[in-house]
């Protein structure tokens, strides 16, 4: 939609954040999506072990 309205160059510069809930069990899959540049980490950030697993999903 962004590319159609503003062109591919502009669309490529817009970061896309996953707006659902990033959790330890879905972080790797979400962050491996080509157009996903980050995500919303809610309550999982309050549990250190889960948050570490989310961070590992970025690797």
User: Mind listing the pLDDT tens digit for each residue in 2-39?
Assistant: 999 999 999 999 998 998 889 999 999 999 998 899 99
Q: What is the pLDDT of residue 3?
A: 93
Question: What is the C-alpha separation between 8 and 3, in angstroms, rounded?
Answer: 5
Q: Which helix (H) or strand (E) holds 17?
A: strand 17-18
Q: What is the pLDDT of residue 21?
A: 87
Residue 46 has pLDDT above 90, yes or no: yes
| pLDDT band at residue 52 under the 50/70/90 scheme | very high
pTM score over 0.75:
no
């Amino acid at each position: 939609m962004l590319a159609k309205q503003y062109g591919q160059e502009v669309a490529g510069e817009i970061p896309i954040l996953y707006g659902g809930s990033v959790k330890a069990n879905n972080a790797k899959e979400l962050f491996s999506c080509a157009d996903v540049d980050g995500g919303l980490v809610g309550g999982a950030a309050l549990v250190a072990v889960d948050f570490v697993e989310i961070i590992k999903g970025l690797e």
